Structures are given as C-alpha cells and as structure tokens.
C-alpha cells in the first residue's frame, strides 16, 4: 500500500544534479550582469542594445535553470494517489524509455467497466438521460451482487471492423469483494425507449 506523494523510485540523479548546479551558476552570473546593466543604463554608460542583449541572455539562462530544476524533479517517481502496487515492471539500473510503464498502482477509489456497444444501439440512446439508465454491473465472481453503475463516456468514433463504440461506466468497489483489473463483468442497463 502506498500513499499519494510517496516516493516509489528515483532515477540516477548525478548528471541531473550537475546540470542543475551549472545552470544555477550560469543564471546567477547573467542575472548579476543584467542588474548591473540596468544600473548603467540609468547613468547612460551603456547602450540600449547592450541592455537588451543582457536581458535576453538572462531570460535564456533563467529558462535553462527552470528546465534543469524540472528535469531533476521529474527524476523522482511518486505515487499519484493512494492505492496498492499491483505490478513493478522495472529493476534497479534498468534504462527506461519515455512513456514506458514502471509501476502499476490500483487506486482505492472508483472503478470503471468498459465494453463495446453496436452503433445501432448508440444511435437510439437518449442524449439527455445517460446518467439515469438504472445501470448496474455484475461480476463473474459474484453474479448475484448488483453493483450500481453510472454512465461516464462513450467514444464518438466506431471501431472500423466491428462498428461498435467503447462505453465506460463507473462504479464503486463493493466492500466484500476484491475487484481487480481484467475481471469479467456484465453490464445491465435499461434499454433506450423506442420514441
């Protein structure tokens, strides 16, 4: 179990820390030069173009510093919400690509059931009454338990081969059953009216 904000993993930070120190030193130097130029322009000791050049350099170095700070902060993987770690896909010293999953966390909040409906059923659904469908979910592991569900979303484009739309319903996990990703379920809802 992990809490939101808890550190789960940390990338090697040596290179990132060095880059941050370098960016901080560079910014400190150019910022002093820019402040000095602001004083000198008042005394008419430097040209306006020299002040603009120092301001530009200051802004560039400030952006580099912000980028270096963000890179260092992004090197720490924290739990985005409370939950249980379901799977760890990485090992120590493993190189990761951007977007590659590292840790899967199952939250303790609401769950979702996704299924596909044919276009002909979606076309007949009442757009104004999606939240009052009287829908519920039954799990294969507990077929007699009716879990209330609420419509969440439907894809606007149909799958080209099956001509179905993915529909998502949200539901709360029942206290007496462990609901895990990939479990089979049936979705029940009041069919749309014929008018």
pLDDT of residue 191: 52
pLDDT of residue 195: 43
pLDDT in tens, 133-168: 678 889 888 888 888 988 888 888 888 899 899 988
**Could you tell me the CA-to-CA distances from 67 to 14, 26, 55 in Å, in that order?**
16, 13, 18
pLDDT in tens, 77-121: 899 888 888 889 888 888 878 778 888 887 766 788 889 989 888
Count CA atoms within 13 Å of residue 38 on its CB side: 9
pTM for the full model?
Answer: 0.54
Mean pLDDT throughout 170-195?
75
Phi and psi at residue 51, to the nearest 5°: -65, -45
Compute the distance between CA of residue 150 and CA of residue 160 in angstroms, rounded to an integer. Answer: 27
Alpha-carbon radius of gyration of the chain: 28
């Amino acid at each position: 179990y992990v809490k939101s904000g808890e550190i789960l993993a940390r990338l090697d930070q040596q290179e990132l820390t060095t880059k941050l120190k370098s960016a901080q030193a560079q910014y400190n130097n150019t910022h002093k030069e820019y402040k000095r130029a602001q004083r000198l322009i008042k005394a008419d000791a430097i040209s306006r173009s020299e002040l603009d050049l120092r301001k530009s350099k200051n802004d560039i170095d400030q952006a580099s510093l912000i980028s270096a700070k963000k890179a260092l902060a992004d090197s720490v993987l924290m739990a985005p919400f409370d939950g249980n770690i379901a799977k760890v896909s990485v090992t120590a010293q493993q190189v990761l690509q951007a977007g590659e999953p590292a840790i899967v966390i199952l939250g303790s909040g609401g769950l979702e059931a996704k299924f596909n409906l044919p276009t002909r059923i979606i076309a007949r659904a009442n757009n104004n009454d999606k939240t009052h469908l009287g829908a519920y979910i039954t799990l294969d592991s507990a077929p007699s338990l009716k879990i209330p569900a609420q419509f969440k979303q439907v894809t606007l484009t149909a799958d080209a081969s099956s001509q179905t739309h993915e529909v998502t319903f949200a539901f709360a996990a029942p206290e007496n059953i462990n609901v895990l990703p990939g479990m089979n379920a049936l979705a029940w809802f009041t069919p749309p009216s014929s008018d």
